[in-house]
Amino acid sequence: MQSFLEEVVKEVWEKHSSHEHIVFVLPSKRAGTFLKNAIAKSADNTFFAPEIYSIETFIEQVSGLSYASNTQQLFVLYNTYLKETSQEKDSFYSFSNWAQTLLQDFNEIDRYLVDAKKLFSNLAAIQELTHWSLQKEKTKMMEDYLRFWNNLESLYTNFNSALLNMGLGHQGLVYRTAYTQLESYLQINPDKLFVFIGFNALNTAETKIIQHILENANSDIYWDIDAYFLEDKIHDAGFFLRQHLKSWSYLKENALKGVSSHYLGDKKINVVGVPKNVSQAKYTAVLLERIHGEKASDLKRTAVVLGDESLLNPILNSIPECIERVNVTMGYPLNKIPLASLFDQFLNLYINRNEQGWFHQNILSFLAHPYIHILLGQANNEDTETIDEVIKNKNWVYITAEQIKEVERGDAVASSLLFHKETPSPKRILQHCLNIITALRGKLDDAKDALSFEYLYRYFNLFNQLSDLVEKYDFITDLKSLLGLYRELLSSETLDFQGEPLEGLQVMGMLESRNLDFETVIITSVNEGILPSGKSNNSFIPFDLKVQLGLPTFKEKDAVYTYHFYRLLQRAKNIYILYNTEPDVLEGGERSRLINQLLTDENRNSSITESVASPSIDPKRYSLESIEKDDSLLELIKAHALRGFSPTSLSNYVRNPIDFYKRNLLGIDDVLEVEETIAANTFGTIVHDTLEELYTPFIGQVLTEEKLVKSKSLVAGLVQKHFAKTYLDGDISRGKNLIAFNVVLRYIENFINLEIADVKKHQIRIIGLETNLKVSLNVPSVDFPVNLKGKLDRIDEVDGTLRIIDYKTGSVERNQLEIVDGVSITSDYKFSKAFQLLCYATMYASEHPEDTMEAGIISFKKLSSGVLKFATKDKAGNGAKKETKIGKETLSLFYTELSALISEICDLNTPFEEKEV
């Protein structure tokens, strides 16, 4: 099958023996590349190639102007806006938020050769009507609002003049100028043959330019459409050409060329619903692998057309490895490259810095960036870690440049390149960005990473461009405006792929597919809001005024997409139309009306297959983890046993052996983080340390009311001291930390009040505080040393009875400390606190075997309950007889259970089995 471009070349060649005087004009550069290939294929001898232009390049030649970049337009427009009136002006940052819409409108006004004076006077009148007021006098807000609309014509005129003085123009201005310069261009090129190929939707300037050339110069035009759409009076695919047939005098006298009849030919159309965008990419990969497996050469005639161009990245990552050649006609957006986020974060660091410094999360996130690791990590591998760890260890919630300079070692890259004391100006921060790029280039020299060098080169150009603009125009005065401009530039800049444009699989956007024919076509994201794009009206010009003046509305935009969609189907043999089955407000809605139109077409629906594809799910049933013990693991257990099992580590094993394995044997603790608000374990440490210092003078003494009252006056100072020690440089002057400080204060004051009440009734003598104990255990089945260690918060004597006290800042229930006879204390984690108390009792009794004692917990959340004592009960439920004394019998029974537990841990044949927690 011949492609459309091959058919055109054949017909033109039959008419004209020489070719160097021919000028081909096509809708896109991509079509021009394929046209050159078609010409080369048809050549049987050497000749001078004809001139081939995209319509935009051709119009640029006719006009004598160059296209201004979007950024240049934005700066010139703002410069013009500043000169317009003496009224209060928007900052560049605010202006850039609405300027893009205005630029788009100016562009359309000129492309459609609209009478600007008439449009702007109508626009101002409409705004006057829609914002009327019953009051005779207008408010200042109303006057400013109406003045804006009345000044638009002047802004438009002066903006265009400013661009023309520079030899530049936005697209619309270039088109309007080309229309006025057309006659002189034709006089300079009298011998040229102009051939227009494959046009459909044309703006007014294009329409008049092409018509004028057709009527006044040696020329021809070929339309790329199927007769089926042209003859159907309501089908949108033929909407524009039917309009041209009615309004062009040239077409009334000359027959249409290029019209084909391929659409109703033999085709296989598959409409496939796939959930979510990534699944579409994966399904596309499955289709490509299938095509490659059946006949690899077919991939040369295959195109993946992306309805939503944001799918480019997942599509590229999904292409099967077996496909060697891929040509990507779309640029890779610069804002998707990792460097984009680096400089975005860098600018944001200084935008969000306050008088206290940088917030720790911003700094840690920035230091975690892969390019910062390269910058700080290769020459001096400790720098990033050191800064990172110091921030976490010292609990710096806010960090200053001086603090970073103090902790940094080595060549001080961070403080010299990244963290500056003064907030830099836009000019200065752009220089910092260029310095970062230069430093990264030096670090990457040894890596031979060509792709990263390309990234750096593009960003080097980007920041040089920004520097020139900031130098030339003095209205970028703050970093927020600079960040907005940086993001604006990134959104329009792309990194072009290198490849052979005519080889292998083609991946392209919808507009790049114009005039190109493929045997197999895969179209993705055919959903409402994407194909077609819907009724969005991002314009200052109301719909009615657009219709009146001949400007395009969503109706025309829908017709454009309909044409491109059906144009892809015309000559294709195998078509896969993919849509997202999960409607999403932001990413497009239900399946496109184009699919529904296709399905309701009686002439075509017999060859259409509908299906829904979903990822194959291999459900994995979660099975509880089991760690078999080997010799190396046994060595870890031996080392831990020698150091000493703590009551907490043994409780971890009772709760879940895997927790014990990971935390106590492997030492995998929670990740160290900055505590913005004080954590529970830090809270408990402060309470313990304060009580230890407060009660240390009383060791060996009987507590008296007088001593306790006196100690109350020391509480505030001690709490503050231990907050500073434990919470390091954490701020406790405000917010939740101030509340936590006062809660600790109240806890300890309430505790002393409770003690004062107790000493009035009982004689209490302090024996020890925070006492470290370690005892050797004799476990019969274990042939290596086993120790039990722990720290007893308090040992005292109440009316002659020894008492072991454990402080808990959390909540403790009495029933967690009461064991029914015959119930194993090591089988239920509910009794973990009772288990810990008996461990402490066992350790103390090993040194003082003659003593009978009591053990209990003081819960600071339940101080009114006093000491919650360990007890054994003869039965469960009410009326049980409780025994709080811990004697030799109780300890002997506990020792048996403790030995069995440690024996299980140390047994090589008993794996660590995970429990459902």
- Poorest-pLDDT segment among 61-65, 359-363, 674-678: 674-678
Return the number of other C-beta atoms located less than 10 Å from residue 54's C-beta: 17
For residue 440, what are the contacts with CB-CB under 8 A and spacing of at least 6? 371, 374, 375, 452, 456
Convert the pLDDT of each residue in 816-843 to its tens digit.
888 887 667 888 888 888 999 999 999 9
- Torsion sign, CA atoms 96, 101, 106, 111: positive
3-state secondary structure of 834: helix
* Average pLDDT of the segment spanning 633-654: 92
pLDDT of 287 higher than 90: yes
Q: Which helix (H) or strand (E) holds 451?
A: helix 450-472
Return the number of other C-beta atoms located less than 10 Å from residue 121's C-beta: 15
Cβ-in-10-Å burial (0-12, 13-18, 19+) of 181 comes to middle
- Rounded Cα gap, residues 831 and 837, in angstroms: 10
Return the number of other C-beta atoms located less than 10 Å from residue 547's C-beta: 12
Bridge partner list, 913 = 626
Q: How far is it between the farthest Cα atoms of the chain?
A: 123
Q: In the structure, what pLDDT confidence band is assigned to residue 122 with cuts at 50, 70 and 90? A: confident
Q: Which helix (H) or strand (E) holds 659?
A: helix 657-659
Q: Pairing between strand 867-869 and 882-883?
A: unpaired
- Torsion sign, CA atoms 745, 747, 750, 756: negative
- Rounded Cα gap, residues 438 and 456, in angstroms: 9
- Poorest-pLDDT segment among 83-92, 216-225, 795-804: 83-92
pLDDT of 791 higher than 80: yes
- Rounded Cα gap, residues 397 and 389, in angstroms: 13
pLDDT of 123 higher than 70: yes
3-state secondary structure of 872: strand
Q: In the structure, what pLDDT confidence band is assigned to residue 107 with cuts at 50, 70 and 90? A: very high
pLDDT of 65 higher than 90: yes
Convert the pLDDT of each residue in 846-857 to its tens digit.
888 777 889 999
CB 113 within 8 A of CB 188: no
pLDDT at 401: 85
Q: In the structure, what pLDDT confidence band is assigned to residue 160 with cuts at 50, 70 and 90? A: very high
* Average pLDDT of the segment spanning 492-512: 83
Q: In the structure, what pLDDT confidence band is assigned to residue 20 with cuts at 50, 70 and 90? A: confident
Cβ density class 290-316: b for 16+ within 10 Å, e for less: ebbeeeeebbebbbbbbbbbebbebbe
CB 105 within 8 A of CB 490: no
In the chain, % of residues over pLDDT 70: 92
Convert the pLDDT of each residue in 67-83 to its tens digit.
998 888 988 999 898 88
- Poorest-pLDDT segment among 313-322, 467-476, 515-524: 467-476
pLDDT at 387: 79
What single letter denotes the amino acid at residue 135?
A: Q
Total residue length of the chain? 917
In the chain, % of residues over pLDDT 90: 34
pLDDT of 533 higher than 90: no
Q: In the structure, what pLDDT confidence band is assigned to residue 676 with cuts at 50, 70 and 90? A: very low
- DSSP 8-state code for residue 138: P
- Poorest-pLDDT segment among 243-247, 294-298, 382-386, 895-899: 382-386
For residue 529, what are the contacts with CB-CB under 8 A and spacing of at least 6? 587, 588, 589
Convert the pLDDT of each residue in 243-281 to its tens digit.
999 999 999 888 899 899 999 989 999 999 999 889 999
Q: Which helix (H) or strand (E) holds 846?
A: helix 832-847
pLDDT at 139: 61
3-state secondary structure of 473: coil
- pTM of the entire predicted model: 0.73
pLDDT at 442: 84
Convert the pLDDT of each residue in 470-496 to its tens digit.
888 888 888 988 888 888 888 778 888
Supply 209's token pair: 């330019």
pLDDT at 677: 45
pLDDT, greater one: 794 or 410? 794
Closest among 249, 247, 246, 183 to 217, alpha carbons compared: 183
Convert the pLDDT of each residue in 695-750 to its tens digit.
899 899 998 888 888 888 888 888 888 877 766 555 666 667 778 788 888 888 88
- Rounded Cα gap, residues 359 and 352, in angstroms: 8
Q: In the structure, what pLDDT confidence band is assigned to residue 379 with cuts at 50, 70 and 90? A: very low
- Rounded Cα gap, residues 464 and 467, in angstroms: 5
DSSP string, 150-164: HHHHHHHHHHHHHHH
pLDDT at 380: 46
pLDDT at 141: 60
- Rounded Cα gap, residues 70 and 76, in angstroms: 10
Cβ density class 578-590: b for 16+ within 10 Å, e for less: bbbbeeeeebbee
pLDDT at 576: 96
- Poorest-pLDDT segment among 209-223, 629-643, 848-862: 848-862
Q: In the structure, what pLDDT confidence band is assigned to residue 436 with cuts at 50, 70 and 90? A: very high
Q: What is the mean pLDDT of the chain?
A: 86
